[in-house]
Chains A and B, each alone.
Chain A
Amino acid sequence: MSEMDIKVLLVDDEIGFTDVMAKRLSKRGMTVKVAGGGTEAIQALRGDDYDVALLDLKMEDMSGIEVLQIFKKMVPNLPVIMLTGHGSEEAAREGMQHGAFDYLLKPCEFEKLLEKILAAVKRSE
């Protein structure tokens, strides 16, 4: 699968971040669906299929871990990459324990994020 065909579900309550990230990923041909919180993300996943999800750990309505657990129940094969602005990697590692594909600390290198997205999609295939 090329970058052009990838459908990304981007979940974060930081609009400034989702805005620019969606633009950059779209620029690379990906289809990006932005969800501003856990509830919105779950609804989005119900309505469509995605190749990969980028999930923030801390959100106002639900924690990233809770959303991850629900994602895993809804679509067990969906690769989820955790994103966290928290200083420590501890929380992100917790996500790995709950079945996340990988994690990245904010701010992250965009190229690295792309690599992880591709790797996640490749593995799910």
Chain B
Amino acid sequence: MPDRQYYRSLHRSMAFTVVLVSLMPLALITLIGGYQYTEIYKGRVMAHLEEIVHKHEQNIDTYLLEKVGEIRVLADNMGVDCFLDEGKLENLHKSLMKRHGGGFVDLGLVNSYGIQVAYSGPFRLGLADYSQSVWFREVQKRTVYVSDVFLGLRGVPHFIIAVQFESEGKKWVLRTTIDFVAFNQLVENIHIGRTGLAFIINRRGEFQTKPRIDLSAEVPFLRELLQKATTDAREEGSFALKKARDMVVSTIAPNPLTGRETIFLSTPLKQGDWLLVYQQDSADAFSDLAQTRNLALVVLLIGVIAITFVAFYLSKRMVKRIIAADKEKEMMNEQVIEAGRLASLGELAAGIAHEINNPVAIMVEEAGWVQDLLAEGIDKNGNTDETKRALTQIRTQGARCREITHKLLSFARMIDPTTMELQLNELVEEIIGLSNQRTKYANVQVETELARDLPTIAASPSEMQQVLLNLVNNAVDAMEKEGGTLTITTKRDKDDVLMTVADTGCGIPRANMQRLFDPFFTTKPVGKGTGLGLSIIYGIVNKMKGEISVNSAVDVGTAFTVRIPSAAKTGVPSDENAEERG
């Protein structure tokens, strides 16, 4: 029976296999499903954010166009005299303030020299000189101009909408300042999650709104982002450039301010002069995904723990059953070996019966002959001597019987399975002696090639006898019809002992080779073979950690080779100990 280490290893490998087989699909499903889910979820979130940013951009554009439109209408329809009259200008300004909730901070008329000739608003900017202002130069080129945010003459952030118009052959500019705070609130109106933040930058990377947190550290990165977007669009051609002006561009990159991975969405405003940027921490934007992932990991972990526990529990139970089955099998094996021993003994007995019956027959006939002589008269001529001869013959034949029965008993008594050190050559000689009668009548010539330097082996003498006797019986059976040669060879192979029992008999058909060592498989006639011989040999040899192999060719012969580790290799108990046990 295998040792505890074997069962421990079996337990571990079974548990490991069950865990592996169970977890592999679970892990694959989790990984593939998780990856797919993550990609789809991220895609959805990004699409959703792009949609929001796009709509927000439209709101801001609408806001600016609305303001531009108001000033345009005034410039085209009111006439320069109306603007030059400060009272009327003030009324117009108040009317705009009323309609737009204070969006228009002031309203002014600037002549072609850049001098504000009329003004309505909270600052004292009458006759202010804007001839050097950027917005004044730009409006002369474009007719309508929305400026960047700047501090200007008033020293507070603001931006200007300026519209150029002609009246009485002169060019005028109607300008208004937009309420920066209101515009800032409009821009910052999209506030998603904890970290969602929108702002506007111009082409130089200058903030056009005032973000609620200081983002100055992000400026180089934003400039780079802006430049890259522009370069990419230019490289892809004019169509791409136009498309880029309408589209929301998304980038996921580490935030230089926080170091965290951040989603940046940008879309152009004011015909590409400004860029609306929306940024949000990835972790914040994908927080639901993280929660789902954590939940999946917890479920996976619970699954792993449950599978591992079940695998170990089940394999432990299975190993217990295997141990019980092995014990049962070992008991069965012992019983089969014993049955086989008796069976081989039976085969031997049949041969020995012939051996005994012949001398017994002689004794019976000699006794009858003496009776014949006595009936005739013991004193008749020569009868006394004949009687003496007959008695001597009876004694001789009796001694012959005694020798045979002693041999048989010595074999039958050896049923002890205790392993001890024994010399295989001696056993071979003994078995040849026992099988002498069988081989003689089967016309089988026995040859031996026994190695002189054969090391001893660790085996039970009775079991080893059984191995040898079964092999010899099989060999003789194979040659029974036509006779032949039985060759028993022993030799040393490193630390092993090799014993070959070869015959020149009928051989084993290839079809039977596979089943040769199966219990109860026999090709002998009913009642002649039990089919246990070779399975017993296999069991015994296996128990000794040996091997048995067979070479056979039909009508040529068969050779069984048994490899048994030497006593030195297996570390057999010494003879002394064996004797103590005996």
B359 within 8 A of A: yes
Q: How far is the CA of A16 from the CA of B393 in the complex (A)?
A: 8
Q: Are B358 and A85 in contact (CB under 8 A)?
A: yes
Q: How far is the CA of A17 from the CA of B359 in the complex (A)?
A: 8
B364 within 8 A of A: yes
Q: Are B360 and A20 in contact (CB under 8 A)?
A: no
Q: Are A23 and B369 in contact (CB under 8 A)?
A: yes
B436 to chain A, nearest CB (A): 12
Q: Jot down 10 A-B pairs with beta carbons below 8 A, ordered by A.
A: A20-B366, A21-B365, A24-B365, A60-B440, A86-B354, A87-B357, A106-B357, A107-B364, A110-B364, A110-B365
Given A24-B365, A85-B357: 20 more A-B contacts, CB < 8 Å: A16-B359, A16-B397, A17-B362, A20-B362, A20-B369, A20-B390, A20-B393, A21-B365, A24-B368, A24-B372, A59-B441, A60-B443, A63-B441, A85-B358, A87-B354, A88-B350, A90-B527, A106-B358, A106-B360, A107-B363
Q: Which of A53-111 contact B (CB under 8 A)?
A: 58-60, 63, 84-88, 90, 105-108, 110
B517 to chain A, nearest CB (A): 28
A14 within 8 A of B: yes
Tally A-B pairs: CB < 8 A.
Answer: 68
Q: Are A107 and B393 in contact (CB under 8 A)?
A: no
Which chain A residues border B360 with CB–CB below 8 Å? 106-107
Which chain B residues border A123 with CB–CB below 8 Å? none
Most interface-central of A14, A84, A87 (chain B CB within 10 A): A87
Q: How far is the CA of A88 from the CA of B352 in the complex (A)?
A: 12
B257 within 8 A of A: no
Q: Which of A17, A86, A87, A105 contacts B365 (CB 8 A)?
A: A17
Which chain A residues border B353 with CB–CB below 8 Å? 85-87
Q: How far is the CA of A86 from the CA of B356 in the complex (A)?
A: 9
B290 within 8 A of A: no
Which chain B residues border A60 with CB–CB below 8 Å? 440-441, 443
Which residue of chain A has its CB nearest to the CB of B528? A90
Which chain B residues border A23 with CB–CB below 8 Å? 369
B324 within 8 A of A: no
Which chain B residues border A27 with CB–CB below 8 Å? 372
* A interface residue count range (under 10 / 10 to 19 / 20 to 34 / 35 or more): 20 to 34
Q: Are A108 and B361 in contact (CB under 8 A)?
A: yes
Which chain A residues border B357 with CB–CB below 8 Å? 85-87, 105-107
Which residue of chain A has its CB nearest to the CB of B373? A27
B299 within 8 A of A: no
Q: How far is the CA of A90 from the CA of B354 in the complex (A)?
A: 13
Q: Which of B349, B350, B354, B365 contacts A107 (CB 8 A)?
A: B365
Most interface-central of B355, B360, B362 (chain A CB within 10 A): B362
Question: Given known contacts A23-B369, A58-B441, A60-B441, is B350 in contact with A87 (CB within 8 Å)?
Answer: yes
A87 to chain B, nearest CB (A): 3
Which residue of chain B has its CB nearest to the CB of A28? B372
A7 to chain B, nearest CB (A): 20
Which chain A residues border B443 with CB–CB below 8 Å? 60
B477 to chain A, nearest CB (A): 15
Q: Which of B306-323 contact A (CB under 8 A)?
A: none
Q: How far is the CA of A105 from the CA of B441 in the complex (A)?
A: 17
Q: How far is the CA of A80 from the CA of B396 in the complex (A)?
A: 30
A23 to chain B, nearest CB (A): 6
A61 to chain B, nearest CB (A): 8
Q: Are B350 and A85 in contact (CB under 8 A)?
A: no
0 or 1 for each of B434-454: is its CB under 8 Å from A? (1 = yes)? 000000110100000000000
Q: How far is the CA of A90 from the CA of B397 in the complex (A)?
A: 26
Most interface-central of B355, B357, B363, B443 (chain A CB within 10 A): B357
Which 8 pairs of residues, A with B, have the shortest CB-CB distance?
A: A87-B353, A85-B357, A106-B361, A107-B361, A107-B364, A16-B362, A20-B365, A85-B358
Q: How far is the CA of A106 from the CA of B527 in the complex (A)?
A: 22
Q: Which of A107-125 contact B (CB under 8 A)?
A: 107-108, 110
0 or 1 for each of B514-545: is its CB under 8 Å from A? (1 = yes)? 00000000000001000000000000000000
Which residue of chain B has its CB nearest to the CB of A63? B441
Which chain A residues border B366 with CB–CB below 8 Å? 20
Q: How far is the CA of A110 from the CA of B370 in the complex (A)?
A: 13
B79 to chain A, nearest CB (A): 144
Q: How far is the CA of A106 from the CA of B358 in the complex (A)?
A: 7
Which residue of chain B has its CB nearest to the CB of A86? B354
Q: Are A85 and B349 in contact (CB under 8 A)?
A: no
Question: Given known contacts A86-B350, A86-B353, is B369 in contact with A24 (CB within 8 Å)?
Answer: yes
B306 to chain A, nearest CB (A): 66
B257 to chain A, nearest CB (A): 106
Question: Given known contacts A17-B358, A21-B365, A110-B368, is B440 in contact with A87 (CB within 8 Å)?
Answer: no
Which chain B residues border A63 with CB–CB below 8 Å? 441
Which chain B residues border A110 with CB–CB below 8 Å? 364-365, 368
Q: Are B361 and A85 in contact (CB under 8 A)?
A: yes
Which chain A residues border B368 with CB–CB below 8 Å? 20, 24, 110
Q: Are A17 and B372 in contact (CB under 8 A)?
A: no
B408 to chain A, nearest CB (A): 13
Q: How far is the CA of A124 from the CA of B358 in the complex (A)?
A: 29
A13 to chain B, nearest CB (A): 9
Q: How far is the CA of A85 from the CA of B369 in the complex (A)?
A: 20
Q: How far is the CA of A60 from the CA of B441 in the complex (A)?
A: 6
Q: Are B349 and A87 in contact (CB under 8 A)?
A: yes
Which chain B residues border A88 with CB–CB below 8 Å? 350
0 or 1 for each of A14-39: is its CB under 8 Å from B? (1 = yes)? 10110011011001000000000000
Which residue of chain B has its CB nearest to the CB of A110? B368
Q: Are A14 and B365 in contact (CB under 8 A)?
A: no
Q: How far is the CA of A106 from the CA of B397 in the complex (A)?
A: 14
Q: How far is the CA of A87 from the CA of B366 in the complex (A)?
A: 21
Which chain B residues border A87 with CB–CB below 8 Å? 349-350, 353-354, 357
Q: How far is the CA of A20 from the CA of B359 in the complex (A)?
A: 12
Which chain B residues border A21 with CB–CB below 8 Å? 365
A88 to chain B, nearest CB (A): 7
